[in-house]
Amino acid sequence: MLTVRIIVVGCGKIGENILADLANEDHNVIAIDNDPVVIGNIGNIYDVMTVCGSGTDRSVLKEARVESAELFIACTSSDEVNMLSCFIARRMGAKHTVARIRNPEYNLDNLGFLKEQLDLSRAINPDRLAAKEMYNVLKLPWAVKIQTFSVRNFEIIEINLREDSPFTGVKLMDLRNKYKAKFLICVVGRGDKVYIPDGNFVLRPGDRVGLTAEPAEIQKLMKAAGIEKKYTKNVMILGGGRIAFYLAKMLSDSGVNVKIIEIDEEKCNKLSQQLPKVVVINGNGAQQELLFEEGLASADAFVSLTGMDEENILISIFASTHNVPTVITKVNQSTMVNMASRLGLDRVISPKELMSDVLVQYARALDNTRGSNVETLYNIMDDKAVVLEFNVSAEFHGTGIPLKDLRLKPGILIAGIIRSRMAIIPTGSDCIQVNDKVIILTENRRLNDLSDILK
């Protein structure tokens, strides 16, 4: 497998997370930071090359050999430094540049212009990314995670099965007939293991299930299965930072009642100016009376977005015990994410990890489009399974054969076929055709070509 030469500028919390993930993926990573202590530490822990200096300094970039970099990521705490260093890097010959741009000023109307003028491949706003993820969770409240693929209308939705779920105790092949909906259970996580199920697989309570369905069918299916809860109407957000702003904006634009509790008066004023439809409360969210007074008990969802991980986790647990159906917790420190999940908070969102995931996928896409025939590659189920997207060329021998007759290697599932931008949830009688896109699900196995799925 070929690797991508990547330069990461800024080794703060986000930068370190990104370069750790990229180095784990076997890429050639060069880290730049102007703090010699930080950079020394990075060099000791990760297999990366380190350069001490500023990302806007040409001689530093030259030392990092920016001209041969395929991907240049700037994620210092300053938007301006990020944009400038990406601009310089691009001018010096970096192939793709990605800047972390946080300030809403740049993000609202100017972003397209900035991206074009600076020739950025991508501008990533971790706050907005997190808000989008939370929005997805709120729109499909029973889903743990939603992975959208390059073709918009194909998604893998992860749900946790509860004790009373009607999906349990039935063979998968019977499930489909039972609900008469077009859906496919493609991956099951049980404990620490991941299974690619066949028709005889029986689900158990507590399983984490990844399924695909046509978007219109999902709501229908969930209703039929009795999983669909009532639609989210009232959302309470604790903390009025940037993520809260983006999330409140998205939610209120789609007609949800949003209430933000923020301790800082100035922030409250600003929020109420920017978001006229949102109710902004000035108060301390750690006070139980305030939460009850503002209707915690009747909220459909509670999102805790304060700056303190510990506070977010505690208040989220408190909200869960008061039967708020959906509780989302923002956690920044990666070590805390696992701990929080163990406490029973299943919607823990880490902006840092989201950003890192996006960049890892970006690097993989760069890598794969160059080396193999994989279009894109995604990790699902806590990185225990991989979803690969392939273009079908005429060289593939499996075209025109019904899927049930294809001799696949064990542990491989064809999760979807995309034909002229329409997603098909495949059954045994569907065939792969030339120029289709095929979505393959497998357990962490690296496949380079679509032919590799066949025995």
Partner 1 sequence: MNRRMIFYMIGKIITLEAVLLMLPLLVSLCYQEMNCVSAFSITIIISTAVGIAMSLIFKPSNKVIYAREGFVIVTFAWIFLSLLGCLPFILSGEIPDFFDAFFETVSGLTTTGASILRDVEALSHGTLFWRSFTHWLGGMGVLVLIMAILPSDNGRAIRIMRAEMAGPVVGKIVPKIKDTAKILYIIYFVLTFAEFVLLLIGQMPVFDSAVHAFGTAGTGGFGIKADSIGGYSPYLQWVITIFMVIFGVNFNLFYLLILRKFKPVFTNRELWFYLGIMLAAAGIITYSIYPIYNSFSDSVRHSCFQVASIVSTTGYSTADFNLWPDLAKGVIFILMFLGGCAGSTAGGLKISRVIIMLKAIIRDIRHMLHPRSVETVKFEGKPLEPAIMNSVTTYFALYIVLMACTFIVLCFEPSFDLQSNLTASISCCNNVGPGFGLVGPMAGYGGYSGFSKLVLTFAMLFGRLEIYPILLSLYPRTWRKK
State the residues that interact with partner 1 by CB under 8 A. Answer: 5, 23, 27-30, 36, 43-50, 52, 65
Least distance between partner 1 and beta carbon 89 (Å) = 16
In sequence order, the 6+-apart residues with CB closer than 8 A to the CB of 149 are 155, 156, 376, 378, 387, 389, 439
Query: What is the rounded CA–CA span in Å between residue 353 and residue 335?
Result: 11
**Of 453, 449, 350, 319, whose CA–CA distance to 390 is shortest?**
449
Q: Tell me the residue ranges of DSSP E strands in 93-213.
A: 96-100, 122-124, 143-148, 155-160, 183-190, 193-195, 208-213
28 or 272: whose CB is closer to partner 1? 28
Q: What's the token pair of residue 140? A: 């499909």
Query: What is the rounded CA–CA span in Å between residue 312 and residue 140?
Result: 22
Is 43 exposed, middle or buried, given 0-12, 13-18 or 19+ CB atoms closer than 10 A?
middle
**Cα-based torsion angle of the residue sequence 53, 57, 62, 64 in order, rounded to the nearest 10 degrees:** 30
Least distance between partner 1 and beta carbon 48 (Å) = 5
Cβ neighbours, 10 Å, residue 149: 21
Least distance between partner 1 and beta carbon 9 (Å) = 14
41 or 168: whose CB is closer to partner 1? 41
65 or 220: whose CB is closer to partner 1? 65
24 or 435: whose CB is closer to partner 1? 24
**CB contact at 8 A, 135 and 168:** no
46 or 87: whose CB is closer to partner 1? 46
Least distance between partner 1 and beta carbon 69 (Å) = 11
Least distance between partner 1 and beta carbon 290 (Å) = 45
In sequence order, the 6+-apart residues with CB closer than 8 A to the CB of 183 are 176, 211, 212, 213, 214, 217, 218, 221, 425
Is the alpha carbon torsion for 286, 291, 293, 297 positive or negative?
negative
Element (H, E) at 441: strand 437-442
4 or 299: whose CB is closer to partner 1? 4
In terms of phi and psi (left: phi > 0; alpha: psi -120 to 50; beta: otherwise), the region of 229 is: beta
39 or 299: whose CB is closer to partner 1? 39
The alpha carbon of 8 is separated from its chain's Cα centroid by a whole number of angstroms, namely 20
Least distance between partner 1 and beta carbon 187 (Å) = 26
Least distance between partner 1 and beta carbon 46 (Å) = 5
Least distance between partner 1 and beta carbon 215 (Å) = 40
83 or 360: whose CB is closer to partner 1? 360
